[in-house]
Structure 1
Amino acid sequence: MNALNRTWSGYLRQDGRKGIRNRVLVIYTVECSAFVAQEIARQSGNLDVECVGFEGCTDNEYAVRMLISLIRHPNVGAVLAVGLGCEYIQPEWLADIAKEEGKPADWFYIQQNGGTVSSIKKGLSIVHTMLDELKQTSRVPMTFSDLVIGAECGGSDYTSGLAGNVVVGNFFDQLVDAGGTAIFEEIVEAIGLGHLLSARAATQEARKDIECTYEKALQYCKSVRQYSVSPGNFAGGLSTIEEKSMGAVIKSGSRPIQGVLKVSQKVPHPGLWLLDSTPDPHWMQFGITNPNDNEGLMDLISCGSHITFLVTGRGTVVGSAVAPVIKITGNSTTYANMIDDMDFDAGKVLDGLCNQAELTQELMEMVCEVAAGTPSKSEALGHKEYFIPYKFQEKEVVRRACEK
């Protein structure tokens, strides 16, 4: 049976979207409340209780929009917001947003609840009540047309552009053809290929947005005199940013690009989308484009990705909060060395053990299983990494830099 014809049960949300997980999200609104929030999640003893938050006590639109998008994410069923009491991001209005989405929600201040011990006890009581409520969530059929899947690279080597990213691109083509949604990012890893991306634009507006996004990333790289290529990439057999870019871009497949998304923007309609996570020109500073893989994964998840692909030739151990991560490598040696962490070996195609079509079908089957509830390896191990930095982006795509 072709995986495209598979169905599984999802969790119906008030906005009509369907989730593949039904998680309680514990949010801390400042670093000072992080320990209490993390202990609530840890002591709950339930892998479906997760903790995320923002460390800053001053305003940051990027972080606020990120937290709101995670509250609204279809994989999230309930929300508990924990604040200290004097920070900018207020837990009450985060809980109110969750209630507007039809999700069980609650909040409290540690300052008003007696401190650490009593706050953890209160939070655990709330979370256990929420877990009981979530047992009543309506279940509905899901197919590939309901899925949003994001992809990024992490620790590329020479096999990434030959196998790892290639199978993702082939998968994305089939996902889009089935009526689903695919998101790829890392425009700073597309240096030298802007003309190829703009040629695939679905509309004239999409072409302008792609060109502006590419030009912004290029100017950033020039300004800091650093491109998104690392010693690990060189050790893995890559020689230039252009060579790495070819591998990074091939994960987008071959379908028309519908447009450019900003971080935390809901996908307007199905199809293939480019995610712009590079800060806009007047907020540029060194190291702010892609500080680590988990920042990129959270950016993809903020746009509604049910599952994310992390393609790495070198290997990685991370997972993420909210959405499962499927870790893919084109290097069979890496897969064998990191069998506890890597989910999918695309290197078999380089050894002649299968063809690209067979490999793509195998990845589709794995996605079906994970979407139906089978934990990815990072989920089973309890990896819940995330990163929400201080960052700045305009709500709309900025074209000023390339219109001058």
Structure 2
Amino acid sequence: MSTNTERAAPLQGWLRSDGRKGIRNVVAVAYLVECAHFVASEITQHFRGQPVHLIGFPGCYPNAYADKVMRQLATHPNVGAVLLVSLGCESFDKRGLETHIADTDRPVHTLTIQDKGGTRSTIAQGVEWVQWAVEQLAEQPRVAMQWDELVVATICGGSDGTSGITANPAVGRAFDRLIDEGAACIFEETGELVGCEFHMKRRAATPELGDEIVRTVAKAARYYATLGHGSFAPGNADGGLTTQEEKSLGAYAKSGDSQIVGLIKPGDVPPTGGLYLLDVVPDGEVRFGFPNISDNAEIVELMACGAHITLFTTGRGSVVGSAIAPVIKICANPQTYARLAEDMDVNAGRLLNGEATLDELGAEIVTLVHEVANGAPSKSEALGHQEFILTYKQFEPLGPACLPIRGV
């Protein structure tokens, strides 16, 4: 990548107290229970078109997973300030979250609806604080940012028969180039990688990591079998995919050819550059239903791992974006691109028409990552998409074989 023009202009970001740098400087308005969702949403709506994003957890009784993900999102490098909106009687540890955020030197404020006079009063106070925070963040300077400080994730949604031929391998080429420059890259969807575990094992940095990957995919297969469903949707079949194995191989293509250096779980930040597999299927007995209820739930988990940008491949088409971190859409099917061009950033279907090679598409994606990292809005950002969803899961801590040793 060092000889390409996309590196001519340096990256820039906002420095955080933990040493990470963000490519956005967002005020996050976070509701801590569904009962506070409306008030938080109304506050956010006053700042449409400004860097104010809505996130939150709907449950009244958060578990360790929900608490960890919210803490990671509230201190994500793209977040500069946080307003917490509480009803007042939920079980979320709002003071613990507030302290966690304050310890990172981010402005943070908590509004409790039951103590502030109700809906109108809380909205008015929230709007006032967010306006102050937006003005404060606008004065913060940007600093130089290197490629090895960037975390890029990938996910596929609405896959069809072209996904594994065009968009997914194009992202794999982009990943290889980004990793060569020291970036951390994350791929996931272990439930859609069934059958590919031994391919990944051969690419693992250590034999122990390879064994962990095999066990992780086996866990996903058991989880789906217990629930009596897989990850093969009717839309996949309508789009020309024939088997789960075909879909898995297409999903696997997003990982590229680089060595896999680590296996992480939601909320674990990659300690070094390189390629990481994110395990998104809960540990323990099956208790929470579908492990991936929507693409946006997976994007949230990738962001909880520090992803600055998510590369979203789609053949059938998808119009979702995300709060906090930009989503870049890579469309696999040229016919889908023609219908949904206003939502798509890259037409990887040009490969089918002989208009581009995989290497050229990979380079185009890397160039777009550079532009978006430096502030250019992706299509979903420009359209105002800020989808967000967080539910319940359960995970055990990582084992010693899962992460690379720093400096090695």
TM range (shorter): over 0.9
Please report the TM-score for the alignment, with normalisation by the length of structure 2. Answer: 0.95
Instruction: Say if 1:30 and 1:55, in contact at 8 Å, map to a contact too.
Output: yes
How many Å separate the matches in 1 of 2:242 and 2:139? 54
How many Å separate the matches in 2 of 1:387 and 1:234? 26
Instruction: Say if 2:11 and 2:147, in contact at 8 Å, map to a contact too.
Output: no
How many Å separate the matches in 2 of 1:221 and 1:283? 9
SS at structure 1 position matched to 2:165: helix
Letter in 2 for 1:40: I
Instruction: Say if 2:152 and 2:310, in contact at 8 Å, map to a contact too.
Output: yes
- Displacement of 1:284 in angstroms is 4.2
How many Å separate the matches in 2 of 1:169 and 1:377? 21
Match of residue 303, structure 1, among 290, 305, 308: 305
**Match of 2:91?**
88
- Indicate whether 1:142 and 2:108 are aligned: no
Instruction: Say if 2:30 and 2:55, in contact at 8 Å, map to a contact too.
Output: yes
Letter in 2 for 1:117: R
Match of residue 188, structure 1, among 182, 188, 191: 191
Match of residue 344, structure 2, among 342, 356, 359: 342
Q: CA RMSD in A?
A: 1.5
**Match of 2:11?**
8
**Match of 1:392?**
394
- Indicate whether 1:200 and 2:203 are aligned: yes
- Indicate whether 1:152 and 2:155 are aligned: yes
Q: Structure 2 stretches of 5 or more lacking a match?
A: 402-408
Aligned counterparts, 1:306-325, within 5 A? 306-325=308-327
Instruction: Say if 2:223 and 2:286, in contact at 8 Å, map to a contact too.
Output: no
SS at structure 2 position matched to 1:160: coil
Question: Which shifted more, 351-360 or 307-316?
Answer: 351-360
Q: 1:55-77: per-residue Cα shift (whole Å, max 9, x none)?
A: 11113111111110001110000
Instruction: Say if 1:12 and 1:137, in contact at 8 Å, map to a contact too.
Output: no
Match of residue 332, structure 2, among 330, 333, 343: 330
**Match of 1:251?**
254
Instruction: Say if 2:201 and 2:207, in contact at 8 Å, map to a contact too.
Output: no
How many Å separate the matches in 2 of 1:284 and 1:168? 33
SS at structure 2 position matched to 1:321: coil
SS at structure 2 position matched to 1:251: helix
- Indicate whether 1:215 and 2:250 are aligned: no
- Indicate whether 1:109 and 2:119 are aligned: no
**Match of 1:378?**
380
Q: 1:332-388: per-residue Cα shift (whole Å, max 9, x none)?
A: 110110011111110111111122222211111111111111111111111110110
Q: 1:245-281: per-residue Cα shift (whole Å, max 9, x none)?
A: 0100010001111121110111121110000010113
- Indicate whether 1:41 and 2:31 are aligned: no
- Displacement of 1:143 in angstroms is 3.2
Letter in 2 for 1:365: T
Q: 1:86-106: per-residue Cα shift (whole Å, max 9, x none)?
A: 111133322221111111111
- Displacement of 1:283 in angstroms is 3.7
Q: How many pairs align?
A: 398
- Displacement of 1:50 in angstroms is 0.6
Please report the TM-score for the alignment, with normalisation by the length of structure 1. Answer: 0.95
**Match of 1:402?**
none
- Indicate whether 1:355 and 2:357 are aligned: yes
Instruction: Say if 1:80 and 1:106, in contact at 8 Å, map to a contact too.
Output: yes
**Match of 1:271?**
274
Question: Which shifted more, 338-347 or 84-93?
Answer: 84-93
Q: Structure 1 stretches of 5 or more lacking a match?
A: 400-404
- Displacement of 1:299 in angstroms is 0.8
